[in-house]
Amino acid sequence: MYRKMLSIAVAGAMSLSVASANTVDVDALASKVEADVISWRHHFHEFPELSNREFKTAEYVASYLKSLGLQVQTGVAKTGVVAILDSGKPGPVVALRADMDGLPVKEESALSYRSNQLGEYNGKEVPVMHACGHDTHMAMLMGAAKILTDIKGELKGKVKFIFQPAEEGAPAGEKGGAEVMVKEGVLKNPDVDAIFGLHISANTDVGTVRYNSGGTMAAVDPFKIVVHGKQAHGAYPWKSVDPIVTSAQMIMSIQTIVSRELKLIDDAAVVSIGSIHGGNRSNIIPSEVEMVGTIRTLNKAAREHIYEALPRKVKAIAESMGAEAELTLPLDYYYPITYNDPELTQQMLPTMQRTAGVENTLLSKPVTGAEDFSFFQEQVPGLYVWVGGKPLDVSEEDSPAHHTPEFYVDDSGMKLGVKLLTNFTLDYMAKH
């Protein structure tokens, strides 16, 4: 234990010296490109596109990256864009990632660049909005690409800029996002040594960065349970095998997996039923009930335990009621744990503190939200942080939540994101 603590301390000291050795005035360069970053963000916000449909967005991004003289590949994982900056000198390959898709949400704002776009979602025409900040992510990464290209002579190695589609999930019947990018070899040729990503936060003050080491965002495992019973008249329940009562008992019992079987002082976990459907009249006990839910875990052990416990409880309760049950787990997709490599996090902590200020670099608790950036982190060490987008004169309570029609982040928060992406690259290259 002592050796482990000592090695972490030494690594931290080494990374601090490296971070301090960077002589590039990144703040001045970020100030120079800030107006362009804001303009790009406004364009993306006004013209959002849904997952796996980011055709015009990808064209806009690719056109700019080509104008920088970068090697650009399009059509990755359907609409993704990947560009490579080669310094011409030996060194590591650093990947920087931004997501591109919007959401089927109708914007309710008075912004001059508000979205009035429409798209198709599950066969229906829907309004589209960048209600999670992916517009800012793309703009910040384009800003970092501009700076790093301009200071190419300071680099050692290569930078891979990854603009990823479908972070919010591919349309029904399709695959997409980081998982597909990984399968198509986005982390290969050249092989990536480390990857960095960030997310704007509507509930975090502009000028601050939040980070966590280890499990940072939860793994996601959707599931479906279908309970088969025997239909009967509601007045004669003894003639039925009631799938509704059976389902109710399952729902209550499932909650005890977290509350009574997991050691919650280590990490949080969630098992939630999000929908339940069965029957169509008040006086008919149906033959079948379908439930759909989600599992969120922050460590491998908790995930494995729930994978064992859920079928155990579903099967036992169904048998006790004379019913049958089918469990599908995972249902149609899954996200691994967004896991910030502890060693990489320790190495980059001085970078965050130098870039945002020690007082503005905040250790954050894990969250049970999810990110498919986790697929990249399964393959190479990765660090994912949150950058503040909340105006200082707005309280956290009054700040609109992500994925809502009122969602808003301030343009001034993006400069820090540009600086972080740039400094992560410079400092990692210097260290490795």
What average pLDDT does this structure show over 136-159?
98
pLDDT of residue 333: 85
| Residues with Cβ within 8 Å of residue 174, at least 6 apart in sequence | 52
Paired strand residues for 383:
196
pLDDT at 155 over 50: yes
C-alpha R_g of the chain: 24
Q: Quick check: 5 pLDDT over 70?
A: no
Which one has a higher pLDDT value, 51 or 4?
51
- Render pLDDT for 345-391 as a digit per residue (tens, 0 to 9): 999 999 999 999 999 999 999 999 999 999 999 999 999 999 999 99
Q: What is the pLDDT of residue 282?
A: 96
Q: How far is CA 95 from CA 161, 195, 271, 333, 383, in A?
A: 6, 4, 34, 25, 11
Average pLDDT of the residues in 381-403? 96
Q: Where are the domains of the chain?
A: 2-218+337-431, 219-328
CA dihedral 102, 107, 112, 113 (to 10 degrees): 10
- Please report which confidence band the pLDDT of residue 3 belongs to, taking 50, 70 and 90 as the band edges: very low
Helix (H/G/I), strand (E/B), else coil: 11: helix
In words, the CATH class of domain 219-328 is alpha beta
Instruction: Check if the beta carbon of residue 274 is closer than 8 Å to that of residue 292.
Output: yes
Average pLDDT value for residue range 286-291: 98
**Residue of 8 and 299 predicted with greater confidence:** 299
Q: How far apart are CA 194 and CA 196, in angstroms?
A: 7
pLDDT for position 21: 53
DSSP 235-274: T-GGGSB-HHHHHHHHHHHHHHIIIIIS-TTT--EEEEEE
- Burial of 24: CB neighbours in 10 Å, binned 0-12, 13-18, 19+: middle
For residue 23, the model assigns a pLDDT of 82
pLDDT of residue 8: 40
Is 395 buried (19+), middle (13-18) or exposed (0-12) by CB count in 10 A? exposed
Instruction: Give the mean model confidence (pLDDT) for residues 245-270.
Output: 95
11-25 pLDDT per residue, tens:
444 444 444 556 899
Q: Domain 2-218+337-431, what fold?
A: Aminopeptidase (3.40.630)
- Which one-letter amino acid corresponds to residue 77? A
What six digits make up the tokens of 241?
């095998």
Q: Which pLDDT score is estimated for 147?
A: 98
Please, which residues bridge with residue 228 across strands?
288, 324
DSSP, collapsed to helix, strand or coil, labels residue 415 as helix
∠ Cα 297 179 156 (to 5°): 105
pTM, full prediction: 0.90
The answer to whether 392 and 118 are in contact (CB under 8 A) is no
User: pLDDT for 186-244, tens place per residue?
Assistant: 999 999 999 999 999 999 999 999 999 999 999 999 999 999 999 999 999 999 999 99
Task: Report which of 290, 301, 272 is spatially closest to residue 369, judged by C-alpha positions.
Answer: 272
* Residue 431, pLDDT score: 94
Q: Please, what is the angle between helix 134-150 and helix 26-46, to 10°? A: 140
Per-residue pLDDT at 11: 43
Task: Write out the catalytic residue numbers.
Answer: 101, 167
Does residue 124 carry a pLDDT above 70? yes
